[in-house]
Amino acid sequence: MNEETRDPSALHTPVLLQRCLELLAPAASRPGAVVVDATLGMGGHSEALLAAHPGLTVIGLDRDPEALALAGRRLARFGDRAVPTHAVYDEIADAVRGAGHRRIDGVLFDLGVSSLQLDDAERGFAYAQDAPLDMRMDQERGETAAQVLAEAPEGRLRAIFERYGEEPLAARYARAIVAARAEAPIERSGQLVEILQRATPAAVRDQRHPAKRVFQALRVEVNGELAALERAIPAALDLLGLGGRIVVMAYQSLEDRLVKRELARRSRSTAPAGLPVELPEHRPEFRLLTRGAELAGEDERAINPRAIPVRLRAAERTREAS
């Protein structure tokens, strides 16, 4: 089925939609408000925001041209209030300036791989389906997962699986991949799954699928996700005007820890210890809007399994930077 006939609303159910709308409403409802949907995907969150706030402009970023085309059709009825933009989220400052703005009122990050990418077997994201090992969110640039597996030294593979997948069998899997690629190129997800299955002790195979963490790690490596996120969150916070709000949904612990750390840093006083009075320039720039990370409710998790691992955090700018 081609892009023109696919219905984006049928392909994707936005996670924690009502909670995102609630958290962003005070900022999105301001006259002439601008919100950045840093992970536009198929446009579900953006559509709901634009429908709820008639004066709002949404700049939607996505690195995947296919997702942009689908979201563009979905948001076409909002005219120039919807600004789909081909960009990775760490390019947020350039995208905002390119749309003619200096500051924004809100920003939403819905991290991880999208339903569109997971459900398209030929993209190679899902270990349950045999497909070419691509895993690029933007298929027009960058190395594929197959190229990483073919060219990375054993030590680098081990480091990728340990850091981005938190895989305890990283060394064993890296050895097995290097041995297997000496016999034949590893070009399909089915081949990789078979190699990992053979390298996994039976007791571990009974507990979890051997490929889950390796596939996650390869996806993060191929798309530079954590490095981009490390740049994107501070850049987004810097763009928010007074009263502006950020909402971030993470689906794996590495992302969530990074988000938690940056939001915590920005919401702490910078006053030196022992100072009798906190000077205005030392007051926190942000206040947290959630106590810890919020989870999806049982009802949503039952209807939408992709909401099960979500961790939502949010903050509001309370002071301009010095």
DSSP 223-249: HTHHHHHHHHHHHHHHHEEEEEEEEEE
Is 89 labelled as part of a ligand binding site? yes
Is 110 labelled as part of a ligand binding site? yes
Is 251 labelled as part of a ligand binding site? no
d(CA 248, CA 236): 11
Closest CA to 44 of 73, 23, 17: 17
CB neighbourhood size of 295 (10 A): 15
DSSP 14-82: -TTHHHHHHHHHHHHTSTT-EEEETT-TTSHHHHHHHHH-TT-EEEEEES-HHHHHHHHHHHGGGGGGE
Is 127 labelled as part of a ligand binding site? no
d(CA 10, CA 3): 13
Q: Residues of 155-186 as b/e, b for ≥16 C-beta within 10 angstroms?
A: eebbbbbbebbebebbebbbebbbebbeeeeb
d(CA 254, CA 262): 13
Is 62 labelled as part of a ligand binding site? yes
Q: Which residues are annotated as a binding site for S-adenosyl-L-methionine?
A: 43-45, 62, 89, 110, 117
Q: Which residues are annotated as a binding site?
A: 43-45, 62, 89, 110, 117
